[in-house]
Amino acid sequence: MGKSSSAASATKKRRHTLTLDEVKTLGRELLSSRAHLNHAPVLLALLSPSAPLDLALEALISLQSFFEPLIPSIPSASAAATAADVGRDPELVFGTWLRQRFDEFVAALVELSVSPHSDDAIRDVALDALMDFVKMGKDGKFHSAIYHKFLHAVVHAADPIDTLLDLLGSKYFKYADVCFFTYTSLDKIANSLGKTTDTENDVLQSRSDGSENRSTIFIHNIYNILAHVPVMDFQKESTFDMWSTVGLYSKGENDSSKDSSTTYIKKKLKLKFTKAWLSFLKLPLPLDVYKEVLASIHQNVIPSMSNPAILCDFLTRSYDIGGVISVMALSGLFILMTQHGLEYPKFYEKLYALLTPTVFMAKHRSVFLQLLDSCLKSSYLPAYLAAAFAKRLSRLALSVPPAGALIIIALIHNLLRRHPSINFLVHWEVDENDSNATGEASQPKKIGADPFNNDEADPAKSGAMRSSLWEIDTLRHHYSPAVSRFVTSLEEDLTVRAKTTEMKITDFSSGSYATVFQDEVRRRIKQVPLAFYRTTPTSLFQGSDFPGWAFGFGDQSNSTVETIVEGNEAIETAASQYFLLVLPANLMLRPEVVNIGALFSFNSTIGRAAKVAIAAAVDDINNDSSVLQGSKLAVQMQDTNYSGFIGIVQALQFMEKDTVAIVGPQSSVVAHVISHVANELQVPLMSFAATDPTLTSLQYPFFVRTIHSDQFLMASVADLVDYYGWKMVTAIYIDDDYGRNGISALDDELAKRRLKILYKAAIRPGAKKSEMAAVLVKAAMMESRVFVLHANDDSGLAVFQLAYNLTMTSAGYVWIATDWLTSILDSAPRLDNGVLGTLQGVIALRQHTENTSRKKALASRWSTLVKEYSSGSSFLLNSYGLYAYDTVWMLAYALDEFFNSGGNISFSPDPKLRAVAGGALNLEALSVFDGGTLLVERIREVNFTGATGPVKLDSDGNLIQPAYDIINIIDSGLRTIGYWSNYSGLSIASPETLYKKPSNGTAGNQNLRPAIWPGETVARPRGWVFPNNGEELRIGVPNRASYREFVSADNQTGMVSGFCIDVFVAAVNLLQYPVPYRFIPFGDGRENPSYTELIGKILTNEFDAVVGDVAIVTNRTKVVDFTQPYTGSGLVILTSVKTQGSNGWAFLQPFTIKMWCVTGVFFLIIGTVVWLLEHRINDDFRGPPAKQIITVFWFSFSTLFFAHREDTRSTLGRFVIIIWLFVVLIIQSSYTASLTSILTVQQLTSPIKGIEGLIASGEPIGFQVGSFAESYLIHELSVSPSRLKALGSPDEYATALVLGPHKGGVAAIIDELPYVELFLVDHSNFAVVGFEFTKSGWGFAFPRDSQLAVDLSTAILTLSENGDLQRIHDKWLSSSGPSSSSQSTPDLQSDRLQVHSFSALFLICGVACVVALAIHASVLVRQYYLHVASQQPPKDDGGGGGAAAISRSSGRSRLRAFLSFADRRETPPPRSSKKESSSAALGASGNSAGRGVSSSFTSSDASVSSLDVATPRPPSMPR
């Protein structure tokens, strides 16, 4: 046990170094004996969501096996704490240690269960282990404390907990005791949460910014837990399953009766259920939770509550809110009113107010309208109330949608049938002669005016009894046929109830525009008006429509008309130009055959699979009568052979044959060309392989891409490059629309991640191998070793073969191939070893397709389909074949909706082709598909699950859920190392599983399995080398005129040398690759160059790098990259200093004036306090006033030298003196040390103390020529440029400082610390004042995102670690003399001692004085009152003594009496012994012996003595 602390300290170190076998060994040893108890903390450290899954699972299982048998012996938390304080008994210590480890294990299990970062497997195991501990409570009872900790963590989880709650619901919420303690814990948590949240009168809280605070999240979690606990039917439930052994019974309960135990469980469960829900409903519920509770409270809460009437306040308050909340609260309130006797007087007034047009468009209108009908069903409703509701509903019928009008008619019908007393609203007739009738219903009315006030909130005052339902009559002419028909159908006499039946509101309550439209569409009509045109009309009306009008009427004798005969064949007869033709409905049949075309390259990997897949899809569709309902698809396939020209010709041929859509083309190049034809002739073009991202719906509205765009493919490639930490890539691509636009998308995606394409290597379409090889050789000479190959199946393998021959697939290279490569490999029945040999270590991407039922069915019969539809060699199914299959199905579903929408297949001549008609091209045969626009709209609305997964287009025309498989090619074939999805980025989990979880595409969640790279290595390639293009790095070097030790150039030889140059050369020599370079001096050598201009040469590409004493400052880091600093640097103040001599008053310098004053005051305070404490008992502090004043001064100041003669006799006085002497000792020692330093150490002084004082002085400031100090002083410190003076050499430094600001020099120089240190080596009359007020360093500058800068930074760190950097420094900067650091001091003058340095001592001393005086005063006052009481005469004494005189005196007299008492000499109390009598006699005579005895009586501890104040003291008695 003594080693537990050391084991705990080593836990973190061992956590990430343990293997699975070592963890298993630790677990076995832990279970074997107590000698290995220290393994428990090590295993506990592995229980975290971030730990490796296998290690965490093994550690969890071992710890569970360890703790389970020990649970009965584990002490409680309180017992463990008591045992830790009582003693060190080994068993008690072991129990305490065991309790702590068990608590840590439980906390780890809770974290693993709740954390969103936990794997599903370990979450399941952790939850089971936790619930096992809950089950194993003391005496078999439910361990509620552990379960409460778990639920508390679940409620306070900031991340979604749906997965965990689903797990709890499926496994544990079926047990009654788990539900019981769930309600118990939620009750406590909700109560505690209610105390911390800001409760407001309005419980509806919805934040305007859409964000959620923590309390809102906790409330959501509580509701989710309550919603996941299953609702128990207490009426039917006869038995309850228990998770624990004892269940809900408390200790001592024993009931063997099954019925009584069931009743007991029901009672307790109902009680806890009610408490939990009531505590939850008291919280400030967010609006969404509030609505969900109201929507389900009547079904899930009220039936299970012990007393549902408790909810009346919540429901009535909700009902009073108004709007949709009131609508939703109506269900629960109705149940309380009808089943539990709730009385709500203003219920119908509130219900009347809810009848607004918005309620008929609310989400929960169906339930509300059904409840409205139920509430108005009672026959006891007053006539005025029924009339008001009927009239309010009829007025609403004028403004609500058609579905609302239908249900209003049904509601009014039921009201009239149930309440015959309001039937006069329908049959109201005004009798002008009956003006004397009585009653509201018979009051005279004004014709044309409706007395009903729709804005009145009170139904009794609305005037409905004097109105009529005229609105219902207007509905006979409603624009919706359904409404007008429904009104007409209600022709029966409502006064006779036997003639009518009530309407079922459920048949109308869910109505909407969609249901009304669907009902109208499904109606079978006898006659259908049809319009047929020879040519497409250009206006709504023509002249023939208006005979006799001014614009004329055409002669109909020479016109023709088209009629429709069976089989859709048209014949022409003489008739008018057009007319309406009515046909029976059975002739309106769908076409028997729908012609579609297919364009792709037959002799290609994609084309071969597509040909079989399209044919199979057409057969499947034609065999499925539910899709096209009698129509058949006829597909004609054409081979484009990768030619855009041939594709155009074939597309035109399709247009001659009335083709409604074209599947394809395969190539993006062909798609660009044919899309123009599709736009003109309005024929949808559905491509399953053209992935060019520029083929958008904006430019090509009739182009539909049924595969994922290359925009997503390149996003996945960019994420791969970013994941592996590469900064640049080389793109190799085919130089056509497909290649160029794909690489352009890659460039955009890389730029979003601050990456770039270093070189774009374009290959001409159809290039020979020699041309490809030349491109590859040029790419190999670039820096990047990461190659992205975006090619076609006919050229990609040739590129890899050439790269293999050029050794560009060896170690250090990275190849990423787009999805063209996986389509080739997936189609090959057997992978050729020769091909695989050239692809070792390549990363490729594949379009991800889900494992759907259609995919399985197609794959199972693929070999049969290949034999049937392909005459060539066998091949396997690839992803493009799946997308081609889904494309045909997508078209079939769209055609079905097209025909359902009333679309028909018709074609019209293109008027634009008339101008170019004639010749042998037969352009007259081309026609425009009249329904093309409608068909495209239906295609974009298709939504189904196909062979590839969900098939649906988003608003941009892209397939939803883009995802790719990431494939690593190795010796044995293909290996999936992960997936990419637009939803969550890179992951090792399949995308379809991630769609069920919240999106999390952050960098920390990106993960892939280890890859095997070219050269058969698992180490990630660096991805960059120095370019092998024969060019040297052009390195700019500042040609300095001063401080040439850092860097200098020989103007004659051009050689450069110095400290900075040696550091650069040493760092380059440490690189693992050669770097050719040459130094180019910058500057004339007579004056220091401008470093800003030098850095700018990198931006203009004149230099590839800058090496020298270049400071790393902010404005430079914005344009270039710097290496790791190789030396520290910062701006300091250099100024001249002089020696400060001492004078005759030097002894006053250690203290400031304030310090002297405070010290003197405290001397007087201490003397005064001691006098007050000693005056009554110590004769040394008594006597005449002059003597006492002298004594106070003498005593106080003599303590400075510890030479005071007066003895302190009181306890309080001694207490004060002890503290004061300690303070004096500290002050005296500090004074002595400071004065010694002043008199013996040479003092340097300067009027400048720091940068603030220098700026405020207004005196000239010097700076080095070319340094950034000038810009810093002007722009950062706002120093006027007129105060700055440029200095170019150390001699100019010295001269300017010696002259000073008044003789043409400067007050100080601002320069970087390395220059100043070198200057101070030879100039001892100057020093650095203040501190270094900027922190920076010197580094080598390179262009942005330079990999060489990164590698050189690593080399500089190596130089620093092995000591070479210090040796180079000593070589150049330490040979001229001692270091100048001794000359530099932050403050040239010794600090004088300040009051604040001793403030704590003075404070302690002051507090001691105040406390002592307070005690002394309280004792003195007490003695005084006792003395006064003792001097009072008896009550029967009429003369009155001295005490009576004092009591009757004025306040001033009493004060004088008290001061006189305080000034008197205190005498000791009388004693009975002889020794006491002699002591008293000696005290009376005033000798020293008497004073010695009286010293034992202090003002703080002496008892009250009897003082004889009546007898006057002798004159010689000291006062």
The span from the CA of 345 to the CA of 393, in Å, is 22
* Strands laid side by side in the 728-734 sheet: 756-763, 728-734, 786-790, 814-817, 843-847, 963-970, 973-981, 985-987
Q: Which of 595, 603, 693 is nearest to 640 (CA)?
A: 603
Separation of alpha carbons 520 and 518, rounded Å: 5
What whole-number distance in Å separates Cα of residue 1224 and Cα of residue 1218? 10
Helix pair angle (668-681, 644-656), 10° resolution: 30
What is residue 350's predicted lDDT score, i.e. its pLDDT? 77
Token pair recorded at residue 667: 């190539």
Contact assessment for residue 425 and residue 391, using Cβ atoms and an 8 Å cutoff: yes
- Could you count the other beta carbons within 10 Å of the beta carbon of residue 1070? 16
DSSP for residue 1141: P
- pLDDT at residue 554, rounded to an integer: 39
| Collapsed DSSP state (helix, strand, coil) of residue 620 | helix
Give the count of beta carbons closer than 10 Å to the beta carbon of residue 1238.
18
Strand partners, 929: 907
Q: Give the model's pLDDT for residue 542.
A: 58
Quick one: pLDDT at residue 1467? 63
> Which three-class secondary structure state does DSSP give residue 699?
coil
Handedness of CA 354, 356, 358, 363 (dihedral sign): positive
HSE, CB side, 13 Å, CA atoms: give it for residue 105.
Answer: 24
Mean pLDDT by 10 residues, the chain (1519 residues): 43 59 85 81 87 86 84 72 59 80 88 85 86 77 84 86 84 84 87 66 42 76 86 67 70 44 80 85 83 79 80 76 71 73 72 80 75 78 85 86 85 84 72 43 57 85 86 83 78 57 74 72 55 57 55 38 33 32 42 90 89 94 88 90 78 81 89 88 92 87 94 95 92 94 94 91 91 90 92 89 90 93 89 83 95 92 89 84 95 92 84 64 76 92 94 92 94 87 91 84 82 90 77 90 88 85 93 87 88 92 93 90 91 81 70 85 84 77 77 76 71 84 85 77 68 88 89 89 90 90 90 89 84 88 88 91 90 58 43 78 88 87 82 54 48 76 66 41 37 36 36 39
User: What is the maximal distance between C-alpha atoms in the chain?
Assistant: 166
* Alpha-carbon torsion, ordered 410, 415, 420, 421, to 10 deg: -140
What's the rounded Cα separation, in Å, for the pair 284 and 822? 56
Instruction: Please tell me whether the peptide bond between 382 and the residue prior to it is cis, using omega within 30 degrees of 0.
Output: no
Q: How many beta carbons lie within 10 A of that of residue 1184, not counting itself? A: 10
The tokens for 1246 are 């300067």
Distances (CA, A) of 1151 to 1246, 1247, 1392, 1404, 1406: 20, 20, 6, 20, 20
112, 126 in Cβ contact below 8 A?
Answer: yes
Nearest partner of 619 among 819, 842, 857, judged by Cα: 857
- Record the tokens describing residue 1298, joined without a space: 């010696």
Is-contact 550 443, C-beta < 8 A?
Answer: no
Burial class (CB in 10 A: 0-12, 13-18, 19+), 1395: middle
Cβ neighbors of 162 (< 8 A, separation 6 or more) are: 224
Enclosing H/E stretch for 976: strand 973-981
The CB density around residue 1258, as the number of other CB atoms within 10 Å, is 12
For CA atoms 261, 265, 266, 267, give the dihedral sign: positive
Question: β-strands 1261-1264, 1308-1312: how paired?
Answer: parallel
Closest CA to 612 of 867, 855, 857, 886: 867
The residues near 1197 (Cβ < 8 Å, ≥ 6 apart) are: 1163, 1167
- How many other CB atoms are found less than 10 A from the CB of residue 508? 23
**Percent of residues in the chain assigned helix, strand, coil, to nearest 5:** 50, 10, 40
Specify the pairing of strand 632-639 against strand 593-600. Answer: parallel
Decide if 445 contacts 404 (C-beta within 8 A): no
Among the listed residues 1357, 1250, 1269, the one whose alpha carbon sits nearest the alpha carbon of residue 1314: 1269
161 close to 224: Cβ distance less than 8 angstroms = yes
503/377 Cα distance (integer angstroms) = 12
pLDDT score at 849: 94
Structure-token pair, residue 1409 = 């004085």
* 930 SS3 class: coil
Q: How far apart are CA 614 and CA 470, in angstroms?
A: 62
| DSSP symbol at 1468 | P
Which residue, 624, 568, 633, is CA-closest to 594? 633
Quote the CA–CA distance of 1084 and 1090 in Å, as a whole number: 11
pLDDT of amino acid 1111: 93
pLDDT at 440: 44
> Cα–chain-centroid distance for residue 972?
42
Q: What is the C-alpha to C-alpha distance for residues 603 and 642, in angstroms, rounded to an integer? A: 10
What pLDDT is attached to residue 858?
93
How open is the CA angle 1075-1079-1085, to the nearest 5 degrees?
165
